[in-house]
A and B are shown apart, each in its own frame.
Chain A
């Protein structure tokens, strides 16, 4: 296949400026600044059907249209916090195909009239940030960034900003707080970032993978992009495949391929060919999918995955074989969320803490009362937390107990 996002697999050295330029790099950027109105860029992206790849799946062009044009300046922020257990796609894009991502940042900035953009990377990506700084400097030296780009009136600077180890900063308003030099705790919404974002100014926050799609969409048009994927989910997606598969890794596929295709064709099947038990399609935030034939033959697109009682999210597909007890899996996910809860809202702070206590207890001696109690805590948290983290922390718990009752002594 020809890659759209992981193009370094087709074109060695595309993380070098000359190689990227030789392969059509920055043509969309030049064309947009020279010939397109900002609204026209947004229009193409909107018509392409591109949806946010960080997990929420919100239509990207629509997000850009929400930017408040009565309040200036505007900002664009690329979310490179990539911290969901099971997700490891943005790092590959930034390390191997960085210019395509940065061209996407530039196009988004032009579309919404931002003159400054920040790439927020998780602190662990310290070396990736240094690498991107070099690439940004190369773009400035070549005249792709800076003052009066290509002789136009448009100016743009891109900066990296390193986090320091906090999953919650992947939540867009927590991320903005973090850039402002504060604890990464989510804001009460509304207002949403397109009206009240960084420094209280209108801001678009997009995931790295989302932005990496943009240059090729602007270059080739909305119809070209929609020719990949399904009517519900246009285009391609990087699926991060992990857990009990022979060949874990990132696989770029058009939406609509089945779980079976990903796990058995791409991933080579399960280690030692053991039977598959469960799939978590959206990392630790995921509901469990019972991996029966119906599930395995379900196309991986936003709508179809929902019919299985789960969300595709960031498409971080964790595969679990039949040697694993689901009770152990939820003790792992609960521990994660308890550690990462920011403490701002009570249902999440207390709920994750009590789920963790109960899960530890269950680990030693499964008692029906504890199972019922942890289930009840999870249910009571749902719909009451300030941001999605609290909600996500309950998904594996409730669906684990409901869909694998035998693992909980039921």
Chain B
């Protein structure tokens, strides 16, 4: 189903934010909307967003490639994105990332065999006083998790598993 069919109100609200002759401004918010459904932006969504915004498919695809929060391939159903930039690294973020990956049996950038969790290192998340910190990206949105430990993270992952089992 297309974005416009599934979220007519949101699409209309997004387009209304910008001058009518500046539809291309809606590309980024529409990409966010598309990604909320599936966790990545499908080719079908790229085509639809291009036609909604009077942009070419190439232009829309170039936006996905430029900005790190957009994904054109599915990853784990939860992406755990750990900041290990300087201020966080000074407070143990590198060790946290390594320990978490060891616990899950994956390398940074890798996905657990069940396809549930991808762990990635990302650039500064603007929460340097609450390191170790990561954001989770999954269908439904982005969430910050601050002052984390490996134990707390494993509990969070268990919570995700239970949530999935219920739905």
B17 at the interface (CB under 8 A from A): yes
The answer, yes or no, to whether A51 is at the interface (CB within 8 Å) is no
Interface assignment of A240: CB less than 8 Å from any CB of chain B? yes
Chain B residue with Cβ nearest A168: B66
- In the bound complex, CA of A90 to CA of B91 (Å): 21
Would you call the interface of chain B mostly helix, strand, loop, or mixed?
mixed
**What's the least CB distance linking B141 to chain A, in Å?**
6
Please report the C-alpha to C-alpha distance between residue A234 and residue B46 in the assembled complex, in whole angstroms.
49
Instruction: Determine the chain B residues whose CB is within 8 A of the CB of A199 once the complex forms.
Output: 19, 22
Q: Compute how far the CA of A83 lies from the CA of B24 in the bound complex, rounded to whole angstroms.
A: 24
Shortest Cβ gap from A398 to chain B (Å): 17
- Evaluate contact between B17 and A320: CB separation under 8 angstroms: no
Docked-complex contact A336 and B124, CB < 8 angstroms: yes
Stretch at the interface among A120-128, A299-307, A374-382: A120-128
In the complex, A331→B76 CA distance in Å? Answer: 29
In contact, A84 and B90 (Cβ under 8 angstroms): no
A162 to B33, CA, bound (A): 11
Question: Which of B97-105, B126-134, B153-161 forms part of the interface with chain A?
Answer: B126-134
What are the residues of chain A within 8 A of B66 when measuring CB–CB? 166, 183-184, 342
- Flag whether B69 is at the interface (Cβ < 8 A): yes
Q: Which residues of A have CB within 8 Å of B24?
A: 180-182
Q: Residue A163 at the B interface, CB < 8 A?
A: yes
Task: Indicate the member of A91, A184, A242, A283 with the most B CB atoms within 10 Å.
Answer: A242
Please tell me if A324 contacts chain B, counting CB pairs below 8 Å. yes
Question: Given the interface contacts A164-B67, A164-B70, does A85 sit within 8 Å of B19 by beta carbon?
Answer: no
A159 & B17 in contact (Cβ 8 Å cutoff):
yes
Binds B, one of A102-110, A222-230, A243-251, A401-409: A243-251
In the assembled complex, which residues on chain A have CB atoms less than 8 Å from the CB atom of B31?
164
Q: Does B89 contact A (CB under 8 A)?
A: yes
Q: A85 to B83, alpha carbons, bound, how many Å?
A: 10
A-B contact count (CB 8 A): 145
Beta-carbon contacts under 8 Å, A120-164 to B: 122-127, 159, 161-164
Instruction: Please give the number of chain A residues whose Cβ is less than 8 angstroms from any Cβ of chain B in the complex.
Output: 54
Tell whether A78 is near chain B: CB-to-CB under 8 Å. no
Q: Which of A90, A124, A181, A320 contacts B27 (CB 8 A)?
A: A181
Give Cα A331–Cα B91 distance, bound, in whole angstroms. 16
Verify B67–A86 contact, CB threshold 8 A.
no
Are B67 and A166 in contact, CB atoms less than 8 angstroms apart?
A: yes
Which one of B18, B55, B86, B130 contacts A284 once the chains associate, using CB atoms below 8 Å?
Answer: B86
Instruction: Using CB atoms and an 8 Å cutoff, list the residues of chain A in contact with chain B.
Output: 82-88, 90-91, 116, 122-127, 159, 161-167, 178-184, 199, 240-244, 248-250, 280, 283-284, 316, 318, 320, 324, 329, 332-333, 336, 339-340, 342
Residues of B within 8 A of A (CB): 17-19, 22, 24-29, 31-32, 53, 55, 59, 62-63, 66-70, 85-87, 89-91, 122-131, 135, 141-144
Could you name 13 residue pairs across A and B whose Cβ atoms are closer than 8 Å?
A85-B123, A85-B128, A90-B126, A123-B69, A164-B32, A164-B68, A181-B27, A183-B62, A243-B90, A318-B90, A332-B85, A332-B89, A336-B124
